[in-house]
């Protein structure tokens, strides 16, 4: 899918439809940036907020990494002095669930989650960003939505 239409009017509709489908389809949705060129997927960045890991589609993540035969980087961006014991415990749990993929995990400090993910992706030659959009309240900023609309990388969403 794309997030840009032929006009500003279409941009709102097409982009909104892409976000809606990425949050509601039970199948993976791949969002391709406007000027992307095809290349083989060697590195996947799994972006996680380390919340609600029991809902994480572990089998789907394993299938995607296996299909692409890609290396997996698991990235958590934090902007405050979070409870590191809890963060490490959750990351350890996630890494154990995905151990067959031999993932590398990274804690990135950045006050802006989007910037932390994009900077890491650029520095580490990421080919696709994997994220799990959640339904948020009206006043909560959606990091997945920001990735869908603005990332210079292909983004894959799964539920």
Query: Looking at residue 14, which CATH number applies to its domain?
Result: 3.40.50.620
Is residue 69 included in any domain, yes or no?
yes
Domain extent, residue 85, equals 8-157
pTM of the complete model: 0.80
Is residue 19 included in any domain, yes or no?
yes
Give the C-alpha separation, 141 to 39, whole Å: 31
142 or 12: whose pLDDT is higher?
142
Q: How many domains does the chain have?
A: 1
Residue range 6-15: mean pLDDT, rounded = 46
Is residue 59 included in any domain, yes or no?
yes
Is residue 78 included in any domain, yes or no?
yes
Is residue 3 included in any domain, yes or no?
no
Summarised one tens digit per residue, pLDDT across range 105-117 is: 898 999 888 899 9
């Amino acid at each position: 899918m794309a997030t840009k239409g032929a006009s500003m009017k279409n941009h709102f509709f097409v982009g909104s439809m892409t976000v809606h489908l990425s949050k509601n389809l039970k199948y993976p949705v791949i969002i391709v940036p406007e000027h992307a060129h095809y290349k083989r997927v060697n590195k996947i960045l799994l972006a996680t907020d380390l919340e609600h890991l029991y809902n994480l589609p572990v089998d789907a993540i394993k299938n995607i990494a296996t299909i692409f035969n890609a290396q997996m980087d698991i990235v958590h961006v934090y902007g405050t002095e979070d409870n590191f014991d809890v963060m490490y415990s959750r990351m350890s749990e996630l890494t154990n669930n995905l151990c067959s993929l031999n993932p590398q995990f990274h804690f990135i400090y950045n006050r802006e989650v989007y910037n932390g993910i994009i900077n890491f992706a650029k520095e580490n030659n990421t080919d696709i960003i994997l994220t799990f959009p959640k339904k948020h309240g009206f006043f909560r900023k959606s990091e997945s939505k920001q990735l869908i609309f603005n990332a210079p990388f292909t983004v894959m969403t799964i539920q």
